[in-house]
Structure 1
Amino acid sequence: MTASPSSAVASDICMSLQDVTISYGSFEAVKNVYMDLPKGKVTAFIGPSGCGKSTVLRALNRMNDLIPGCTLKGRVIFDHHDLYDKRVDPVEVRRRIGMVFQKPNPFPKSIYENIAFGARINGYKGDMDELVERSLRKAAVWDECKDKLKESGFSLSGGQQQRLCIARAIATEPEVILMDEPCSALDPISTLKIEETMHELKRSYTIMIVTHNMQQAVRVADMTAFFNAEAVEGGSGKVGYLVEFNETENIFNSPSQQSTLDYVSGRFG
């Protein structure tokens, strides 16, 4: 990233959203978000469908750039730079801020090449065998893969495929990992393994996760952001907004907003 430094961000803050509004065409999907995301923590984004939490998550590594007509106002500060400065390369943003999607999406390649491919494209010059093993170990899937590295990534179970995708994200040596409902398509045992993997990964990475599973947020997240949506005047859809952002324990046990309490207690959503 070559953009000039923006306003300094405290050393314990990984990313800062400053009055972020994201629109699809003329429709504002989420507006006026202010949030400082801490380093070395797991932050969960929760809220009902249509409140903009996945839209905000994708804005953190400019994945929304790939959606025609999607625009962002405000600033997203990372490493003292505004990620949306015209001089910032979105490809470099996505290398440093990796993404794991809702459904496992291995490349149609071998398990080994799923890990090596991205690293090779990014110019990795080290020991590729060591990088593949290290990435698979960090994603807690090495023991299940080590004897079949030449087999297709699709030969793995759904939960193993998702951990392979986490390993693939790790292999490009990012600083942040974004996860958009990474367990929604998985069985309970695979979900538990992904959650255990997250606890290990936060020793080395900052993680932001979107989840509809309240119990999952409680189990994995240090911080939780609750988003909600309200009807737009005239009835043309809803606009999302950030209601409350705090330590997970506070969000679930003593939220400051009634709507947060109503959501986490299951009264709507």
Structure 2
Amino acid sequence: MKIPQDKLIKGDASISLQNVTISYGDFDAVRNIYCDIPRGKVTALIGPSGCGKSTVLRAINRMNDLIPSCSLKGRILFEGTDLYHPTIDPVEVRRKIGMVFQQPNPFPKSIFENIAFGARINGYTGDMDELVEQSLRKAAVWDECKDKLNESGYSLSGGQQQRLCIARTIAIEPEVILMDEPCSALDPISTLKIEETMHELKKSYTIIIVTHNMQQALRVSDMTAFYNAEVLEGVSGGKVGYLVEFNETETIFSSPSQKLTQDYISGKFG
């Protein structure tokens, strides 16, 4: 992606959401989001169910394009480039901005091919053995995989499969990694390993994570965005998400500027 010099983001923002509204048909899922996400840090998106956290996350690498009724107004800039400009290829967006989903989803292939496949179709021509090893090492799962690279990805435990999926994402050399509740289906030990992996990965990548776990947000993130939803009058069951507050994680959890944020993190609702 060529970045127009007159549209470069000032400061350390990797991704900038500028008055973003995301709709499904005539229904606004989230409305009027402004947020600059810094590079080289972990940003957590928190908030009650139905407030649009995952919708916002998927918009950042244009996964919502796969939903026919979904549309976006406003702009999402990645390193200064408008990701929704007509000239931008969404496949290229997803290579630059990788994603790890809630449920581990290895390919029905060997552990080696889980890593090599994406790199190969993206034109990688280097030493594939080295790429596979380095990707698995960065995802902290090499020691558990190195002696069975030809076995199915499904032979691994749930936590190992999730780290395999992180390694698969790393192998295509993204700049940003999105994680949609990556630990919700995992046991506490596997969750701890994923969190430790995130701390290492942020040295090389910008990471954005959706989580319902307040303690996890506090443990892993540098920045936290708190979303909430308000009920729409006259719409049965309808509600629209919005960003309440965005700040350093320590500030959000110790001295938030909004009472609504304090009520949420103290468990009064959600």
In structure 1, C-alpha distance between the alignment counterparts of 2:3 and 2:192, rounded to whole Å: 40
Task: Name the structure 2 match of 1:263.
Answer: 264
CA distance in 2, matches of 1:16, 1:133: 33
Conservation of the 8 A alpha-carbon contact between 1:6 and 1:82: no
Q: Is the 8 A contact 1:2 1:88 kept in 2?
A: no
Task: Give the aligned partner of residue 82 of structure 2.
Answer: 82
Aligned positions of 1:1-269 closer than 5 A? 1=1, 4=4, 7-236=7-236, 237-269=238-270
Return the offset for 1:235: 3.0
Letter in 2 for 1:22: I
**Unmatched segments (≥5 aa) in structure 2:** none
Greater shift, 10-19 or 237-246, is seen at 10-19
Query: Secondary structure, in 3 states, of the residue corresponding to 1:21?
Result: strand
Q: Shift in Å at residue 79 of structure 1?
A: 2.0
RMSD: 1.0
Is contact 1:101–1:180 with CA below 8 Å preserved after alignment? yes
Whole-angstrom CA distance in 2 between matches of 1:11 and 1:111: 40
CA displacement at 1:11 relative to structure 2: 4.3
2:176 touches 2:206 (CA, 8 Å); kept in 1? yes
The Cα of 1:46 is off from its aligned counterpart by: 0.1
Q: CA–CA distance in 1 between the matches of 2:47 and 2:87? A: 33
1:114-147 deviation line (CA, Å, top 9, x unaligned): 0000000000010000000000000000000000
Residues 6 and 81 of structure 1 are in contact (CA less than 8 Å); yes or no, is this contact kept in structure 2? no
Query: Which is worse superposed, 1-10 or 88-97?
Result: 1-10
What is the TM-score of this pair, normalised by structure 1? Answer: 0.98
CA contact (8 A) 1:112 1:149 kept: yes
The 1-side partners of 2:127 and 2:242 are apart by: 45
1:206-261, Cα deviation, whole Å (9 max, x unpaired): 00000000000000000000000001121330000000000000111100111100
Q: Provide structure 1 residue ranges, at least 5 long, that are not aligned to the other structure.
A: none
Measured after TM superposition, the shift of residue 23 of structure 1 is: 0.2
